[in-house]
Amino acid sequence: MGSLPPQVPDGVSPGDWLADQDRYTVNAHIGSGSTSEVFRVRDLLLERALAMKVLRSARASRTELRDRFIAEARALARLQHPGILPVYDVGELPDGRPYYTMQEVLGENLEQVLHRRQQLREVTDSWPLSRLLAVFRQACSIVAFAHVRQVLHLDLQPVNLLVGEQDAVYVVDWGLTVDDGSRRAELVGTPAFLAPEQLDVGAPPLDARVDVYALGAVLYQIIAGQPPYTGSPDQVLDALRRAPPVALQTVAAG
C-alpha cells in the first residue's frame, strides 16, 4: 500500500487508514477544505486512478456534517451529467469517517487560471476572454441541469469550477447542496459569492436564484479581475448588507 502524504491529518498510519486496503492505495494528497480532504487513490480491482474525498475527523462527530457529506454523495450519484463527477463508491474508514470515491480530473480550477492570467502575459494570450466565457457558459449549463432536478449548489465560485482536458468543465464541491425549497438554519457559503438573501438565516427557503447570483459574481470576476466584493469575510458580508457592488464597467475600466 502506498504511504500517506504528510498532509493527512490525525497521524493515522497507512496500514489502518483505508477501509478496504485490498481495494485502494493512496498516491497523493490533492487538496483540502474546511471539512474534508481529497486524495488521489488507485483502485486495484478496476486498475484506475480515482479521487477519494474524506470527512475530517474533527468534523466527523458532528451529525449535521456527516449528513451533509452523505447528502453530497447522493446528490452527485443522481446528477448524471458529463460536467458532474460521478460517484463510484461510498464507505467508512476504520475510525468512522465517511468517504466516497469519484472520477479524478486532471486540470486546474478557474481560480488558478484567473490568478495566472493576471500574473503572466502568456497566460492572458492563451486564455482570452472568449475562452473564459466558453468555460463560464459550460458551468451555467451544468448548474441549470442540477436546478431542473431541484438541486442547489450554494457555493459556486471559481475554485469549484474545474477545467480539464480540451476545456471540459466540471462543477465540483457540492458539499452544501440542498434540494430546492429547503430551509437553512445557518449561514453557509463563501462570502464573496453569497447572494444577499443567504444572509437572512431562517428566512423563506432558498431557491435557484442564489446560484444564479453566484454565477453572476463569477462572471464579474472573469471580466473585472476581482469578485464583486473584496476584503476580509466580515468586510465582505458588511458590504453585501449595505450596498450593491461597484458597477462592472467602472471596475473593468479602471
- Give 216: exposed, middle or buried? Use CB within 10 Å, 0-12, 13-18, 19+: middle
d(CA 164, CA 52): 18
Residue owning grid cell 447522493: 74
DSSP letters, the chain, are -PPPPTT-GGG--HHHHSS-TTTEEEEEEEEE-SSEEEEEEEETTTTEEEEEEEE-HHHHT-HHHHHHHHHHHHHHHH---TTSPPEEEEEE-TTS-EEEEEE---SEEHHHHHHHHHH-HHHHHHS-HHHHHHHHHHHHHHHHHHHHTTEE-S---GGGEEE-GGG-EEE---TT-EETTPPPSS--S-GGG--GGGGSTTSSPP-THHHHHHHHHHHHHHHHSS-SS-SSHHHHHHHHHH-PPPPHHHHHH-
Catalytic residue among 16, 20, 43, 155: 155
Verify whether residue 155 is a known catalytic residue: yes
Longest dimension (CA), the chain: 58
Work out the end-to-end distance of the chain between its first and last CA atoms, rounded to an integer number of angstroms.
Answer: 54
- Active site residue ranges: 155
